Chains A and B, each alone.
Chain A
C-alpha cells in the first residue's frame, strides 16, 4: 500500500499536476511538494499525491556507482 509510482509531469495547474504514469494520464495533487513542480520533472505519486520529486542527479550518481562497481568486478 505504500507503493509509490514514478510519474512525469506534463501539465501544471494550481495545486495539481497532470502526470504520465507509464502512458496513462492522471491528475495528482502537488500540495505536498516542498519545491515547485516543473514540467518534465518526475515525481513519486502515492494515493493521488506527489510526495517527492525524483532527483536526476542522485539517480545518475547511483547509476555511475553501479557502472564503476561492475567495472571493478571484471
Chain B
C-alpha cells in the first residue's frame, strides 16, 4: 500500500543498519526512549533490539494511553458499573484492563452490563435516540485522540443532551516528559517522539527535550522510519548538538493541526493528572472546562478516584518510565500473560509487556 510498502524495503533497512553500526562510538552507550505505544509495538515486532548494535539501549516510555491510567481511575469506572444501570462506551483497548477487584470491562459485559466498543466517539451520537439511559464515554487518549473526544462532547452540548457523561481521563505529554527529563536515574540520550501526537501538537512540544541537551526526533511507524530516527539520534548525540528533527514530514507539519488544537481548547483545560506508578503529575491531563462540567461523570454519580496508582506485584509503573524491562517483573509470562493479564501493560495492544510477550518471549534475551 502506498506510503507503507516503500518504508519497509529490506535492502534500505540493511543500509540504514550498516550506517548506524558505523556511526556508533565504541565505549559509549546510547539510551533511547520511545514515547509512543505504537512505536513500542513496532520495535518489538521488527526485532530491533536484536539487530541494533549492543550499545544502543531502547527503552519504552509512557506512551500507551490505556497503561498510564491509574488503578484508581479504572476502579472508579467499575464502581459505577456496580451501582448504576448505564451504557458504557469505550475504545476497545480498555476492555481487558483489570481492576483492583480483578474484574475487567470484558467480565462485566459477560455478566450483562451494557458495554459497547466504539471505533470513533461519534458512533455514540447514533445511540442518543434509542435510549433514556445514561450514556457514558470513557474519554482516554493523548493529544492525538483528544480532538475527536472534544468534538463528541461539543456535539452533545449543542444538542442539549442530558443523559450523557464522560470519565475525563485524557492525558497530555508535557508534564510527563518533564518528569522523565528531571529523573536523575534515567539519563535518556534521545527520544523517538510520537508522530501522531505531533500531527496535532506540532513539533515544538518537544523543545523542552533539546533544551536539556537530549535528542528529539519525530518519527513515523514503519521500520525505516524508526531506524532513521535512531540514526538521527545517534548523530545528534555524537555531535553534541541537539534540535527537534521532524523525520515524519509526510504526515506531521511542524505546526501540527491548529484546528484540532482549537477543539481541545474549546472543551478542556490543562490540569494535573494521576499516572500509573508515578502519581500526580502537573500539566499532564485534561479537565472539562466549566461549561462542560455537567458531563463529568465523577460529579454526576458521586464517584471518587482512590489514590491507588498501581497493582500489587505489577511493575507497569516502572516499565512505563523506562526504569525496568518486562523481563525484570517476576510475574512476566508466568502468572501474567495476555490471556490472564495482571497489569495493563500486558493487556493493551500497545503495552510494553504485551509487545515483549508477543514478539520476544522466545528470543535470546529471555
> With A44-B251, A66-B12, A69-B16 in contact, do A1 and B2 touch (Cβ < 8 Å)?
no
Contact yes or no, A48 B122, CB < 8 A: yes
Q: Is the CB of B196 within 8 A of A6?
A: no
- Alpha-carbon gap, A17 to B312, bound state (A): 46
Q: Which residues of A contact B251 (CB under 8 A)?
A: 4, 44, 52, 54-55
A15 CB to closest chain B CB (Å) equals 10
Contact bitstring A40-74, B, C-beta under 8 A = 1, else 0: 00101011110110111011011100100110010
Which residues of chain B have C-beta atoms less than 8 A from A28's C-beta?
A: 120
Stretch from B3-11, B73-81, B127-135, B319-327 forming part of the interface with A? B3-11
Task: Encode B161-199 as 1/0 by CB contact (under 8 A) with A.
Answer: 000000000000000000000000000000000111101
* Chain A residues, CB < 8 A from B123: 48
Report whether B148 and A49 are in contact in the complex, using a CB–CB cutoff of 8 Å. yes
Instruction: Verify B148–A54 contact, CB threshold 8 A.
Output: no
Given the known inter-chain contacts A32-B263, A70-B11, please indicate yes or no for A46 contacting B38, CB distance below 8 A.
no
B286 within 8 Å of A (CB atoms) = no
For window 1-58 of B, CB contacts with A under 8 Å fall at: 1-4, 6, 9, 11-12, 15-16, 18-19, 36-38
Q: Are A31 and B151 in contact (CB under 8 A)?
A: yes
Nearest residue in A to B149 (C-beta to C-beta)? A47
Does B153 belong to the interface (CB within 8 Å)? no
In contact, B257 and A52 (Cβ under 8 angstroms): yes
Min CB distance A9 to B, Å, is 12
A31 to chain B, nearest CB (A): 7
Q: Is the CB of A47 within 8 A of B249?
A: no
Q: Is B270 an interface residue (CB 8 A)?
A: no
Q: Complex Cα distance A26/B199, Å?
A: 22
Name the residue on B nearest A63 (C-beta).
Answer: B6
B252 interface residue (CB < 8 Å to A): yes
Interface centre among A1, A47, A56, A59 (most CB of B within 10 A): A1
Majority-rule SS of A interface residues: mixed
Tally A-B pairs: CB < 8 A: 123
Q: What residues on A are CB-neighbors of B226 within 8 Å?
A: none
Q: Which residues from chain A contact B1 at a C-beta distance below 8 Å?
A: 6, 22
Known: A1-B141, A1-B145, A2-B37. Is A55-B249 also a contact (CB below 8 A)?
Answer: yes
Pairwise interchain contact B65-A2, C-beta atoms closer than 8 A: yes
State the CA gap A34–B148 with chains docked (Å): 15
Do the beta carbons of A47 and B91 come within 8 Å of each other?
yes
B64 within 8 Å of A by Cβ?
yes
Question: Could you tell me the distance between the alpha carbons of A58 and B15 in the complex, rounded to whole angstroms?
Answer: 21
- List 23 A–B pairs whose Cβ atoms lie within 8 Å, in order of A's numbering: A1-B93, A1-B350, A2-B36, A2-B63, A2-B65, A2-B142, A8-B2, A31-B151, A34-B257, A34-B258, A34-B259, A44-B251, A48-B120, A49-B148, A51-B196, A58-B249, A62-B247, A62-B249, A62-B250, A66-B15, A69-B16, A73-B18, A73-B19
8 more CB-based (< 8 A) A-B contacts, given A6-B3, A31-B151, A48-B120: A1-B66, A34-B258, A46-B144, A51-B199, A54-B250, A54-B251, A70-B15, A73-B19
Q: Which 7 A-B pairs have the closest CB atoms?
A: A48-B120, A58-B249, A59-B250, A2-B144, A58-B250, A70-B15, A2-B196
